[in-house]
Amino acid sequence: MKEGQLVVPEQVTVPFIEGDGVGSEITPVCQRIVNKAVELAYKGRRSIEWMEVLAGGKAFAQTGEWLPEATMAAFREYLVGIKGPLTTPVGGGIRSLNVALRQTLDLYVCLRPVRWFKGVVSPVKEPQKVNMHIFRENTEDIYAGIEWEQGTPEAQKLYAFLRDEMGVKKVRFPETSSFGVKPVSVEGSKRLVRSAILYALQHGLPSVTLVHKGNIMKFTEGGFKKWGYEVAEQEFGDHTFTMNQFEQLKKDLGEESARACMADAVNAGKIIVKDCICDAFLQNTLLMPEDYSVIATLNLNGDYVSDQLAAMVGGIGIAPGANINYQTGHAIFEATHGTAPNIAGKNVVNPCSLLLSSVMLLEYLGWKEAAVRITAALEKAFAQGEATPDLARFMPDGKPMGTAEFGERIVTLLLEE
Ligand code: NAD
């Protein structure tokens, strides 16, 4: 990183975690496709050296540790890495390896782009209207893991404190309640929304929607909305027009003038920053997905939103993702599905979640030409019904292909471009 910008050498070393279960099937396929796309796009001027680092079951088998320090050190040093799915250790100190990676590197954005590929069967009527980029806050909210089980001395102590010192009288069944704490901070919310607005600016996207449940959780989710609007107005005033400003203009000048100002802002290429309550948002994504582009939201909302939107464009096998700290530059791109033990070793797993995450990695490096080539090859394959069985079985002219064969087909399509 130099002055807030990623400086990328022509030869990049990328640490990768192969992944457990289906990881050993999807990782080599993706690397072969990425290598070919980079070679074709840059004719040898640029290349990626893949450096394996261990985590998960493979790490435990070889080193007795689920997440060796050497792996963390590699991600820290090389900034940009990629990972396959990892088995969640049962028992022991680590709750989830993914959470450990995110927390250690403070990867505060979980980025999930969601788009539809022609040919992929979708449960919605007009999937071509779905094109969103979800910025899910990754470090706070109820996910902070601050909770106490009902019946424990800790839960009773917390309740006594709430009752005696904070005057809380609203717990319906205090003796049998578990308790959780939901921290949502100014800095945590602002850095997330800042990243979302910057992304919209850099990618020429029309709007950022703050998705929250501030009507009920006024200080946490409502705070997120308030601080989000502050970022837009105070830090990006020349580039944004917010619904806050719209409401103020409506009060001062009337609705017609407010609408005219918004139309002017849109014509001037400004980003519209608006907000939506999460339950309404989930409904709206089904009814009018074209109204949304970049989404900025809190951790738990983001979890639900990501899965619904992924299902709308083809589901778990094809949804890419990344965890990013835009300040330090650290980023880990990942398969968003699990280790799929029920299909591991059968050559049927869909490599597209990891492959599209690799495309995101290339874009993050600024290697757009290689990224575009892979996306174009995937578009061609899906349009012809060529896909792994999870997708092909729903396509009217579907031609189910094994993981390895599908990978080779994508390489062939790259060569034909
Ligand atoms: P899973 O995602 O592995 O599988 C759910 C279902 O989706 C299965 O039927 C599976 O066959 C199918 N599926 C998943 N990915 C697919 C693909 N690429 N192509 C075709 N079908 C696919 O979820 P699970 O079974 O709940 O979890 C299995 C293990 O993975 C657990 O140990 C869990 O903790 C772990 N997990 C890891 C991650 C991660 O590392 N990011 C995420 C979720 C689950």
pLDDT in tens, 101-117: 898 999 999 999 999 99
> Closest ligand 1 atom, CA of 350?
19
Q: Which pair of tokens denotes residue 390?
A: 């999870």
> What span, in angstroms and rounded, lies between the C-alpha atoms of 312 and 116?
8
The string of pLDDT tens digits covering residues 365-415 is: 999 999 999 999 999 999 999 999 999 999 988 999 999 999 999 999 999
Q: Let me know: does 98 contact 67? Beta carbons within 8 Å.
A: no
Which of the residues 303, 304, 307, 399 is marked catalytic?
303
pLDDT attached to residue 88: 82
- CA of 337 from ligand 1 middle (Å) equals 5
Alpha-carbon dihedral sign for residues 411, 413, 415, 417: negative
Query: What atom in ligand 1 is closest to the CA of residue 318?
Result: 18
The ligand 1 site (C-beta within 6 Å) comprises 85-88, 98, 316-317, 334, 337-343, 349-350, 353, 390
Nearest protein CA to atom 13 of ligand 1, as residue: 340
Token couple for 277: 């309550």
Half-sphere exposure of 15 (CA within 13 A, CB side): 18
What is the sign, positive or negative, of the torsion defined by CA atoms of 43, 34, 65, 74?
Answer: positive
The predicted structure's pLDDT at residue 324? 98
Taking only the tens place, the pLDDT of each residue in 336-348 is: 999 999 999 999 9
Q: For residue 286, is pLDDT > 90? A: yes
| Tokens of residue 116, six digits | 């539809």
For residue 103, the model assigns a pLDDT of 87
How far separated are the first and last CA of the chain, in Å rounded? 34
In this structure, the chain runs to a length of: 417
Torsions phi, psi for 139 (to 5 deg): -125, -5
Task: Output the pLDDT for position 92.
Answer: 60
Distance 89 CA to ligand 1 centre (A): 14
**Given ligand 1 and candidates 101, 112, 337, which is best to mutate, with the most ligand atoms within 8 Å of its CB?**
337
Q: Confidence band (pLDDT; 50, 70, 90) for 91? A: low
Residue 94 pLDDT exceeds 70: no
Residue nearest to atom 44 of ligand 1 (CA): 338
| Percent of the chain surpassing pLDDT 70 | 99
CA of 301 to the centre of ligand 1 (A): 21
Q: How far is the CA of 53 from the centre of ligand 1 (A)?
A: 21
209: left (phi over 0), alpha (psi -120 to 50) or beta: beta
CA of 47 to the centre of ligand 1 (A): 31
Nearest Cα residue to 250 out of 259, 241, 242 = 259
d(CA 233, CA 65): 47
Closest residue to atom 17 of ligand 1, CA basis? 317
Lowest mean pLDDT among 62-66, 98-102, 220-224, 389-393: 98-102
Q: Which of the listed residues 339, 347, 356 should we mutate to test ligand 1's pocket, taking the one with most ligand atoms within 8 A of CB?
A: 339
Strand ranges (E), 141-239: 147-148, 179-180, 207-212
What Rg, from alpha-carbon coordinates, does the chain have? 23
What does the pLDDT look like over 16-36, one tens digit per residue?
Answer: 999 999 999 999 999 999 999
Structure tokens at 256: 């017609």
Which single residue is written with the structure tokens 């050559």?
A: 347
- Pairing between β-strand 320-324 and β-strand 331-335 as defined by DSSP bridges: antiparallel
Ligand 1 atom with the smallest distance to the CA of 389 is 20
Which pLDDT does position 232 carry in this prediction? 98
What share of the chain in percent tops pLDDT 90?
A: 92
Res 411: pLDDT: 98
Per-residue pLDDT, 12: 97
Place of tokens 């963390």: 72
Axis-axis angle for helices 403-416, 23-42 (nearest 10): 10
Q: Report pLDDT for 22.
A: 98
CB burial of residue 263 (10 Å; 0-12, 13-18, 19+): exposed
Active site residue 279: yes
What does 89-110 look like in DSSP terms, one character per residue? PSSSS-S-HHHHHHHHTT--EE
- Active-site entry in 20, 108, 141, 143: 143
**259-283 confidence digits (pLDDT tens):** 999 999 999 999 999 999 999 999 9
The predicted model gives 62-85 an average pLDDT of: 95
Predicted pLDDT of residue 145: 82
Expressed in percent and rounded to 5, the helix, strand and coil fractions of the chain are 50, 15, 35
* 352 CA from centroid of ligand 1 (Å): 14
pLDDT band at 3 (very low <50, low <70, confident <90, very high): confident
Confidence check: pLDDT of 186 > 90: yes
Q: What is the mean pLDDT of the chain?
A: 95
Q: CA-CA distance, 296 to 313, in Å (whole number)?
A: 20
- Give SS3 for 338: coil
Nearest Cα neighbor of 338 from 326, 327, 350 is 350
* pLDDT greater than 80 at residue 89: no
Atom 2 of ligand 1, residue of closest alpha carbon: 338
Nearest CA to ligand 1 atom 26: 338
DSSP secondary structure, 113-151, as one string: EEE--TTS--SSS-GGG-EEEEEEE-S-GGGG--EE-TT
Name the catalytic one among 213, 225, 274, 380.
Answer: 213
Q: Which protein residue has the closest C-alpha to ligand 1 atom 40?
A: 85
Nearest alpha carbon, ligand 1 atom 22 = 317
The rounded Å distance from CA 339 to ligand 1 centre is 5
pLDDT confidence bin for 93, thresholds 50/70/90 = low
Rounded distance from Cα 269 to ligand 1 centre (Å): 41
The 10 Å Cβ neighbour count of residue 150 is 14
**Which one is catalytic: 279, 291, 304, 307?**
279
For residue 42, the CA-to-ligand 1 centroid distance in Å is 35
pTM score, whole prediction? 0.94
Active site residue 292: no
CB atoms within 10 A of CB 399: 14
Residue 86 alpha carbon, nearest atom of ligand 1: 40
Give, using CA atoms, the residue closest to atom 38 of ligand 1: 338
Residue owning tokens 């989930």 = 282
pLDDT at 314: 87
